Copies of this chain bind each other. A is one copy, B any other.
């Protein structure tokens, strides 16, 4: 992930505003991720693409004995150090593509919505497998492949005559690779991988897939943010739990 998306001033300000409002991460992705977390008591955790560190802090507060949160963005880590510090959490600036630099072993490798920025998923899977203790768990979320599919990043919902969200249109699902789109700013890069590539790569690396989740919002979340009902049309997130 060579782009420093989260260090771009305009992107950073817009992203920070998004995360301060009612958002899909807090209402949909995080509840689903937390349901899948293994017991954390006494565990060593690696948080890949930790961003602000809210996930790392939660993991430490939930009993982990140590959390190493890595992220590429200085700005995100500045916020993490300031607002999400904890004696058991260490934040370190590092690219997810440089995991070979790490030598310690972890019980859990956790990553929230970061893997779609990584170009070489096989390398990432192998690095994570190496860093996990036997019986250790990988739990990650990413954008759903239906969302990342369209080459110009312009998959879109269609409205009915009544103005209700009715369907979703996409393309290029079978063409894996880089996508360059607009998210607050132009030129945001991510990588589309079809579901089969993700699952089969993990399996061939040695992981046992324990759960594959396309989260649906709970009723309380839809009443907080009615837009979440769109998840019944097409999924936004993919979550996978896999064991070594």
Contact surface of A with B, Cβ cutoff 8 Å: 146, 150, 158, 166-175, 194-196, 199-200, 203-204, 208-214, 216, 231-235
Contact = CB atoms under 8 A, between A and B. Distances in A.
Contacts of A200: 210-213
A114 B168 CA distance: 27
Given A169-B158, A170-B167, A209-B209, A214 B233 contact: no
A171 B233 contact: yes
Given A209-B199, A209-B209, A216 B174 contact: yes
Nearest to A217: B174
Given A146-B146, A175-B232, A235-B174, A195 B169 contact: no
Given A173-B233, A209-B209, 12 more contacts: A146-B146, A146-B173, A150-B167, A173-B214, A173-B232, A173-B235, A174-B232, A200-B211, A200-B212, A203-B209, A203-B212, A208-B209
B167 A171 contact: yes
6 contacts: A146-B146, A172-B233, A173-B233, A174-B234, A200-B211, A208-B209
Contacts of A234: 170-171, 173-174
Contacts of A212: 195-196, 199-200, 203
Contacts of A174: 214, 216, 231-235
A166 B167 CA distance: 16
Contacts of A210: 200, 203
Nearest to A234: B173
Nearest to A211: B200
A11 to B, nearest CB: 28
A208 B208 contact: yes
Contacts of A173: 146, 214, 232-235
Nearest to A194: B214
Nearest to A209: B209
Contacts of A231: 174
A210 B199 CA distance: 8
Contacts of A199: 199, 209, 211-212
Nearest to A169: B169
